[in-house]
Amino acid sequence: MVSVNPLTQLDLPTLRRRRSMKWRRYPDDVLPLWVAEMDTPLAPPVVDALSQAVHLGDTGYATAGRLAEAFAGFAFHRFGWWPDPAHCVLVGDVAQGIVEVLTVVTAPGDVVLIGGPTYPPFRRLIPRTGRVLRENPMARGADGRFRLDLDRLASDLSAPDVKAYLLVNPHNPAGTVPTRAELAAVAAMCEKHGVRLLSDEIHAPLVFPGSQFVPVLSLPEADRAIAFVSASKAWNLAGLKSALAVAGPRAVTDLRKIPEDAGISAGLFGVLASDAAFRAGGSWLEDLMAGLDHNRMLLESLLAKHLPGIGYAVPEATFLAWLDCTDLGLGDDPAAAFLERGRVALSSGPDFGGMGRGYARLNFATSPEILTEGVLRMAAAVTPIR
């Protein structure tokens, strides 16, 4: 089959007709490179599944159907790991799943540790559960890449009030993929200190050549962990609502404590689309990854040419670039200047916590043309007006 880059199929006027958050938050003169939606059409198997449901009027409440089996098949094929479908629970989305699980495995007032910089919704959602969010800063290497800081983690996990650690693997916004050895060390540390390990693996299908995603539950040390998976990022299904919480062998009892109606906030379209994506969306995903791989390198050359003051560690995974703009003199929130003066929308670094000061996150899941235009607009925002 001829491969087609899903990122070059939709032009700007077509994308501007979209009603999703990415395209509606800002006025039409702003180029949106912010929230984690992709500028792609749907994968053909997803189109088929949703069309059939529309024709059937199949728009009632969701049931999980055989989604867990579909995910297990995908995970086995892609990561060599077979999760037990009986240990999976349907939830509306990853964020909701994490909240449900935290409510079961921790108590109000307990500390939930998370590797910073932190995906902004977690900074709001976790405190809303009555738990206390504490950042465990990742370490910035000489290459500008943020990785787990195992020494700091060992010390932070030993605090008696820490009861859960939320790992984000691959990491948003850093774009890093922890190694098997790092994960084993994290799992062992959590076990030693009686801290529950939760692993957000939403970006797992989006790992580039050169790095390898290791599902935390594939490690024997992590048999009490709970992972969260979804097709929503890799196949752009976020608005359809469907994710799975997956329990390690010693966490199954906890997962069963989640109220039975937790899955009610999942959408049937989300389940059907995700099922189709996991079962038959593999070749589309390969084409997408080739396009994203091209874009992550294109971004490097565009920044080198037009904005050499920006620090960019090419991500190992995700379609998100975590840009160090501290040398540009744009203050704590460079995205504000890019928006105001360049009419291009990135995600604001400070929304990711203190470690995000001077940073901005750019979503490169778009066409090379739009990406190029975005960087030119950013450059225009920093060029002194003559």
The Cα 55–Cα 51 span in angstroms is: 6
Q: Which of 294, 293, 350 is nearest to 325 (CA)?
A: 350
In the complex with ligand PLP, which residue's Cβ is closer, 121 or 354? 121
Strand partners, 166: 114, 198
Q: Which two tokens stand for residue 161?
A: 């009030």
The Cα 285–Cα 142 span in angstroms is: 32
In the complex with ligand PLP, which residue's Cβ is closer, 98 or 379? 98
Site string for ligand PLP, 238-267 (x = CB under 6 A): x----x------------------------
Q: Which two tokens stand for residue 229?
A: 């998976």
Binding flag, residue 95, ligand PLP (CB under 6 A) = yes
In the complex with ligand PLP, which residue's Cβ is closer, 35 or 53? 35
What is the per-residue DSSP string for 204-260? TT-B-TT-----GGGSGGGTT-EEEE-STTTTT-GGG--EEEEE-GGGHHHHHTS-G
**Is the CB of residue 353 less than 8 Å from the CB of residue 137?**
no
Query: Which one of 6, 87, 88, 93 is in contact with ligand PLP (CB under 6 A)?
Result: 93
In the complex with ligand PLP, which residue's Cβ is closer, 115 or 291? 115
In the complex with ligand PLP, which residue's Cβ is closer, 36 or 262? 36
Stretch that binds ligand PLP, among 46-54, 87-95, 155-163, 337-345 (CB under 6 A): 87-95
Q: Give, in order, the Cα–Cα distances in Å from 18 to each of 11, 37, 76, 377.
A: 12, 11, 35, 22
The CB-nearest residue to ligand PLP is 93
Stretch that binds ligand PLP, among 67-75, 231-239, 274-282, 321-329 (CB under 6 A): 231-239
CB of 169 to ligand PLP, least distance (A): 9
Stretch that binds ligand PLP, among 182-190, 230-238, 292-300, 355-363 (CB under 6 A): 230-238
Q: Which of 379, 307, 382, 377 is nearest to 343 (CA)?
A: 377
Q: Which residues bind ligand PLP (CB under 6 A)?
A: 36, 93-95, 119, 168, 172, 200, 202, 230, 232-233, 238, 243
